[in-house]
Chain A
């Protein structure tokens, strides 16, 4: 069963206490990739580089800068893992450095239309 781990980091940059170090991320990434559970994963560039696209009813394209951090948490990256059940997925989420320091990891089953 596939699950996506959506890694949200606290939007405010000044609360770095308890946030994970680069080395911890490298170690976690290595563990996930070598575990056999890894399907895919990416880390996203800073939110200031984001662009939003909307298409209106008559097909007109609206492109805007942002979004900027209006909520407390910002999606910073994701993993897709393939594991037997939710308990195993929750274990991987709990081990993720992004779950600490005011961040959170949302675990969502990937829909299976097969």
Chain B
């Protein structure tokens, strides 16, 4: 997953980025300390960049990196006795985490990344810290890259990551995979981190661009790793499926001028069929063999959109039914909003508007521009142009990214141009 056209260097970097997470996780498992693991992991990669071009890539690059990193760590611990004493204590505790994972089929390092996923997404860390640490430690982004992804100054992001690592160390957040009894409580936190990286990439909450594809693709890459590590968890299939089924439309979602193209106006021929097929298989995996989870259900909704030729031929009754299931699983005004829009498609704008108006008091929707925009759209369809214009103005005041704002402005002007209200008001 290289970005831009860096040629050979970029692909070497991509290899290292893939290897970085594995290496880091194995070192954390070995030494119980994230800082030390990060330092020696980057030193080992630097050493490889020096030695491999000259002496050739070793037959087992992962093992070479691990051996190099471990030597560096041991050197460091010899020099710093206090640090070594602290790590000795941590090592005793690390044994609690259970035996090391078996070596991978490729004869490479055992994959310890699952522990790192759970540590980075630990509920004792703030939501922002979880996302930053996951991008840093598992996606292998550098701190300035993480900062750029969130449009923050590098120094701010560096401070955040240092603070989060300090909490892991000093409050002793463990590096361990939760037991079977804890997993249902902890897995949603890991999935949430990945999904929030995706949604930030998909609908950038601010900035000049509508989509930040690199973030969406990082999220998909992370979800693939998680899916391999937890093949039996249906929600990890559901999350990967949902993201693929949404991401399959990304090219059609932005017009030639960078403007937002709504689902109904998208050229469906530009949707990525291979990605949709992979997503459909994952929906089946996510919804088979037990009660559905929220990501599986959302993936099923996305699949129904992807399978339709047009908005008109979309299976809206089925989508409303899926939202009913989702609402029961995760009651939230945002889900209720999506359901209301689907009801409008099934039963007409009047029915949808009634449901939306019933949600008017929800504090969560007050600052949520999709709510105002959905109301505006339905009011417009009912011919109530003056009320629609008001709702579009409300949405404009709340929307973040420039292409979204441009779309809302267009709709507002269309509304104002439509003249006097129809029979709706």
B20 at the interface (CB under 8 A from A): no
B43 to chain A, nearest CB (A): 27
A86: B residues at CB distance < 8 A: 122, 124, 171-174
A15 to chain B, nearest CB (A): 22
Q: Give Cα A90–Cα B176 distance, bound, in whole angstroms.
A: 15
Q: Mark B85-98, 1 if CB is under 8 A from A, else 0.
A: 00000000100100
Q: Are A1 and B124 in contact (CB under 8 A)?
A: no
Q: Mark B135-176, 1 if CB is under 8 A from A, else 0.
A: 000000000000000000000000000000000001111101
Which residues does B use to contact A, with CB under 8 Å?
93, 96, 122, 124, 170-174, 176, 178
Q: Are B170 and A84 in contact (CB under 8 A)?
A: no
A85: B residues at CB distance < 8 A: 93, 96, 172-174, 176
Q: Give Cα A87–Cα B168 distance, bound, in whole angstroms.
A: 11
Given contacts A84-B93, A85-B93, A86-B124, contact A109 B170 (CB under 8 A): yes
Given contacts A87-B176, A90-B124, contact A109 B171 (CB under 8 A): yes
Q: Give Cα A96–Cα B174 distance, bound, in whole angstroms.
A: 21
Q: Give Cα A16–Cα B172 distance, bound, in whole angstroms.
A: 35
B171: A residues at CB distance < 8 A: 86, 109
User: What class of interface size applies to chain A in its complex with B?
Assistant: under 10
- In the complex, the number of residue pairs spanning A and B with C-beta atoms less than 8 Å apart equals 26
Nearest 8 CB-CB pairings of A with B = A85-B174, A85-B172, A86-B173, A84-B93, A109-B171, A86-B171, A1-B172, A87-B174
Q: Are A84 and B96 in contact (CB under 8 A)?
A: yes
User: 9 more A-B contacts (CB under 8 A) besides A1-B172, A84-B93, A85-B176?
Assistant: A84-B96, A86-B124, A86-B171, A86-B173, A86-B174, A87-B173, A87-B174, A87-B178, A90-B124
A24 to chain B, nearest CB (A): 21
Instruction: Kindly report which residue of chain B lies nearest to residue A94, judged by CB atoms.
Output: B185
A1: B residues at CB distance < 8 A: 93, 172
Q: Give Cα A1–Cα B172 distance, bound, in whole angstroms.
A: 8
Instruction: Kindly report which residue of chain B lies nearest to residue A1, judged by CB atoms.
Output: B172
B96: A residues at CB distance < 8 A: 84-85
* Most A CB within 10 A of own CB, among B96, B122, B172, B174: B172
* A84 CB contact (under 8 Å) in B122, B124, B174: B174
20 cross-chain CB contacts under 8 A = A1-B93, A84-B93, A84-B96, A84-B172, A84-B174, A85-B96, A85-B172, A85-B173, A85-B174, A86-B124, A86-B171, A86-B172, A86-B173, A87-B173, A87-B176, A87-B178, A90-B124, A109-B170, A109-B171, A109-B172
A47 to chain B, nearest CB (A): 28
Q: Which of A26-49 contact B (CB under 8 A)?
A: none
Q: Mark A47-90, 1 if CB is under 8 A from B, else 0.
A: 00000000000000000000000000000000000001111001
Instruction: Kindly report which residue of chain B lies nearest to residue A87, judged by CB atoms.
Output: B174
* Most B CB within 10 A of own CB, among A1, A84, A87, A109: A87
A77 to chain B, nearest CB (A): 21
Q: Which of A80-114 contact B (CB under 8 A)?
A: 84-87, 90, 109
Instruction: Kindly report which residue of chain A lies nearest to residue B92, judged by CB atoms.
Output: A84
B178: A residues at CB distance < 8 A: 87
Q: Give Cα A26–Cα B412 distance, bound, in whole angstroms.
A: 64
Q: Give Cα A90–Cα B170 distance, bound, in whole angstroms.
A: 15
A1 to chain B, nearest CB (A): 5
A109: B residues at CB distance < 8 A: 170-172
Q: Give Cα A34–Cα B330 distance, bound, in whole angstroms.
A: 39
B170: A residues at CB distance < 8 A: 109
Q: Give Cα A90–Cα B131 distance, bound, in whole angstroms.
A: 22
Q: Give Cα A84–Cα B96 distance, bound, in whole angstroms.
A: 8
Q: Give Cα A64–Cα B268 distance, bound, in whole angstroms.
A: 73
Q: Give Cα A90–Cα B171 distance, bound, in whole angstroms.
A: 11
A87: B residues at CB distance < 8 A: 173-174, 176, 178
Q: Give Cα A75–Cα B178 distance, bound, in whole angstroms.
A: 31
* Most A CB within 10 A of own CB, among B171, B173, B176: B171
A90: B residues at CB distance < 8 A: 124
B93: A residues at CB distance < 8 A: 1, 84-85
Instruction: Kindly report which residue of chain A lies nearest to residue B182, judged by CB atoms.
Output: A87
B186 to chain A, nearest CB (A): 9
